[in-house]
Structure 1
Amino acid sequence: MGDRWRVEVDRSVCIGSGMCIGSAPNDFKLDAGRQSHPTAGETDASDAILEAAESCPVEAISIVDATSGATVFPPED
């Protein structure tokens, strides 16, 4: 069994660049207001989702390990 992640987008920070959709088109969508949303509240860990979070120009995407609650992204200081 692989890792499971909870993916969230801070809509107050999201600028609707669509970079997340370019990296992980099955995992993110933009609404009518061009705000990003994860397509699932919990998902299998994937390089595409991590790449989407890393490429977000405003760091609006956060990833948490669904089992442990540990932060996956952004890295803790």
Structure 2
Amino acid sequence: MTSLAINNGLTLIATPIGNLRDVTFRAIDALMQADQILCEDTRVSRKLLNHYNIHTKLTSYHEYNALLYDQR
């Protein structure tokens, strides 16, 4: 798989996906290159990351803790 250059910024990847093998190469590259991944449910996202051996920092972000991040 050839790595695709991704510019700085925000990349949105909708999950969960039905089958772990249905995720796109571009999504995998974005997850690998990210400095941090914010997700609603880390348990669900961790399954995808583990499947593709991705070790990017994973942080829970949802309506109950969003204000903590917005104030930084």
TM-score (norm 1): 0.28
- Which has more radius of gyration? 2
TM-score by length of 2: 0.29
Higher strand fraction (1 or 2): 1
Specify which structure has the bigger relative contact order, considering alpha-carbon pairs within 8 angstroms and separated by 6 or more residues: 1
